[in-house]
Structure 1
Amino acid sequence: MSESKLWFLFIVAALILLVFLGIHLGYMHLDNILGVNDPLDYNNVKTRGQDTFWLVSYLILLVAALYHGMYGLRTILLEYFPQNLKFINGLIGIIGFLALILGSYVVIYSYIGG
């Protein structure tokens, strides 16, 4: 994939982050306005974790944040080590994939009643 397409996806991920992080932060910090008693209460966390809207939202947030962060880290590493493009791409790919698997596991496990 070309650098310009990767950068475009980086910008798209940033826009997605703005929307979904805004939803998340609004819900978590505007609890008095939204009528949520305590968003960090165990029962509220469990109920939110089993809601399909939050499942999809958290998965989208996870993918967008991982792509945005991994692309940014890749860019920084390539500025210092431009000769190691294949190694850095592989390393970033492996780290990102493992983080995606772990993050998805947590979100899906809470959704199915964990």
Structure 2
Amino acid sequence: MAINTQKIALNALAYLYQKHLHHELGDLGFCYATKQRHLPTVLSPSEISLILNELDGRDRLIIELLYGSGLRVSECLRLRIQDIDIDRASLTVRDGKGYKDWQTTLSNRC
């Protein structure tokens, strides 16, 4: 259960006890849940090579763009020809996260 949900439930109980039951709730020794730390899984360059060697065509290009340019899947799938600048080796991402336009490098492999 999320921390805010726990706070709401605890406040509801405190209100019930104080206002309707006329009874002091006292110290419950209650501890809020903590957010668990999640470490991302990172693939080594050799693992990426093994994956790319199994792909071809459009799928390989998409994965190379995701890995080489740091794009999100939705950003990659919305790319247009006019967003690619081969002379500068850059990509323009339109309406990315936060609905912002930004530029990133185009992988040499692509």
Q: Which has the higher strand share?
A: 2
* Greater relative contact order (Cα < 8 A, sep 6+): 1
The structure richer in helix per residue is: 1
The normalised TM-score by structure 2 is 0.24
TM-score by length of 1: 0.23
Report the structure number with the largest CA radius of gyration. 2
